[in-house]
């Protein structure tokens, strides 16, 4: 079968859909990639995929440019002739569903998170919901990564033909392998991995680091991520200069930082799908402190693999970190082992890959 992927990021496909694409190719299918190429797409071409670069603004609001996306999708679909299309993120889901319905091609849409523009009340939410009401009912199947996103659709009257929950993108257990828990004799290393963005909880993390580092200089607060917010980017630079945090910037491969860490801190209130940060650190055997946000609370078991706190609660974050520090070494290590065992059982990427391929084969047979 010919399978076409629609995405708003070639990097996202490489990070989270690579195993699915590899398996499809291994089974003798033809794979097409239609996405903006913010990084080189040569690796997909070398694998044997057909790559169709397009322009897509993730935050664009120009209606004429949005109409040009419809035309771009139509042109690519006519060239590649897919038997089934797999779309990820809001815009590819919306415009992909409209074109595929028109051309009578089955499409699977994946809701990988709603984003703040959709979740927060305002004109952008009104417009987005209206567009999803029109388009998403045309999709043959919609996968949600968490219950909160699924309930958002139901609450706003977005009707769907068929839907189900899937364990996010899953985690590649052959890449993010379990690592022995490091000694805490000299330091305890906390790690924040993610964009420097207010909704990801960076402000909470920085303030907690400032307070706790003053109490205990043997604590290290690391940050791995790209600067995406002017205000907090300046704070990161300032705190790094003062020695409160250690900023590593964007890292292509976070594994060495996870391995050296004792606990992942993920104080997000961003509308996630399923947090890859938490899945990857858990796979490598590291506990986590995170919030009760959907997409996070499903991964962490409170007081078993880490701690769950209320969103936007700085005091709760500080107290959770203090609690973690006071745990004996064996209990910290056991939290990490429990975290690994949970994601290995429920969030293995192979489970997700098998589910998508079965659905693709079913839709192509019934079309």
DSSP per-residue string spanning 134-197: HHGGGSSEEEESSHHHHHHHHHTT---SSEEE--TT-B-TTTS---PPPP-SS-EEEEEES-B-
Stretch among 19-33, 62-76, 124-138, 310-324 having the lowest mean pLDDT: 62-76
pLDDT of residue 60: 58
More confident residue, 160 or 273: 160
User: Residue 362: pLDDT above 90?
Assistant: yes
Distance from C-alpha of 322 to C-alpha of 214, rounded to nearest angstrom: 13
Instruction: State yes or no: pLDDT of 245 exceeds 70.
Output: yes
Mean pLDDT across the chain, nearest whole number? 94
Please state, in angstroms and rounded to a whole number, the distance separating the CA atoms of residues 84 and 3. 5
The pLDDT > 70 percentage for the chain reads: 97
Q: 188-346: CATH homologous superfamily?
A: Glycogen Phosphorylase B; (3.40.50.2000)
Q: Starting from the edge strand earliest in sequence, which strands make up the sheet with 288-291, in order? A: 246-247, 219-224, 188-193, 263-266, 288-291, 306-309
Within the chain, which residue ranges are assigned CATH 3.40.50.2000?
2-170+348-366, 188-346
pLDDT over 80 (residue 325): yes
CA distance 43 to 360: 24
Residue 61 has pLDDT above 70, yes or no: no
What is the pLDDT, as a whole number, of residue 40? 80
Helix axes of 63-80 and 90-102: crossing angle, nearest 10 degrees: 60
Give CATH for domain 2-170+348-366.
Answer: 3.40.50.2000
Judged against a pLDDT cut of 80, whether residue 119 lies above it is answered with no
Pairwise CA distance, residues 124 & 90, whole Å: 13
pTM, two decimal places? 0.90
Give the pLDDT confidence score for residue 83 in this predicted structure.
98
């Amino acid at each position: 079968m010919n399978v076409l992927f629609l995405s708003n990021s070639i990097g996202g496909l490489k990070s989270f859909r690579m195993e699915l694409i590899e398996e499809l190719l291994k089974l003798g299918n033809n794979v097409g990639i239609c996405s903006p190429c913010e990084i080189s797409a040569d690796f997909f071409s070398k694998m044997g995929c057909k790559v169709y670069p397009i322009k897509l603004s993730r935050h664009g609001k120009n209606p004429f440019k949005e109409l040009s996306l419809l035309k771009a999708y139509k042109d690519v679909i006519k060239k590649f002739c897919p038997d089934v299309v797999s779309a990820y993120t809001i815009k590819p889901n919306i415009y992909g569903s409209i074109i595929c319905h028109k051309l009578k091609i089955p499409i699977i849409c994946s809701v990988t998170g709603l984003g703040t523009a959709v979740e927060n009340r305002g004109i952008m939410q009104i417009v987005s919901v209206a567009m999803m009401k029109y388009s998403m009912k045309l999709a043959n199947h919609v996968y949600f990564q968490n219950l909160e996103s699924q309930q958002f659709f139901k609450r706003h009257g977005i009707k769907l033909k068929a839907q189900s929950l899937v364990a996010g993108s899953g985690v590649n257990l052959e890449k993010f392998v379990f690592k022995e828990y490091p000694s805490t004799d000299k330091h305890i290393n906390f790690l924040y991995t993610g964009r420097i963005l207010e909704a990801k909880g960076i402000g909470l993390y920085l303030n907690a680091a400032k307070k706790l580092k003053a109490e205990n200089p043997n604590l290290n607060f690391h940050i791995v991520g790209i600067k995406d917010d002017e205000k907090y980017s300046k704070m990161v630079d300032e705190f790094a200069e003062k020695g409160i945090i250690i900023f590593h910037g964007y890292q292509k491969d976070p594994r060495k930082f996870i391995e050296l860490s004792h606990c992942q801190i993920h104080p997000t209130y961003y509308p996630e799908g399923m947090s890859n940060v938490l899945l990857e650190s858990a796979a490598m055997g590291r506990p986590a402190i995170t919030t009760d946000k959907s997409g996070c609370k499903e991964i962490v078991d409170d007081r078993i693999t880490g701690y769950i706190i209320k969103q936007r609660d700085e005091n709760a974050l500080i107290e959770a970190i203090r609690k973690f520090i006071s745990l004996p070494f064996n209990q910290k290590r056991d939290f990490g082992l429990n975290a690994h065992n949970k994601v290995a059982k429920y969030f293995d990427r192979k489970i997700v890959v098998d589910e998508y391929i079965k659905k693709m084969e079913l839709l192509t047979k019934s079309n």
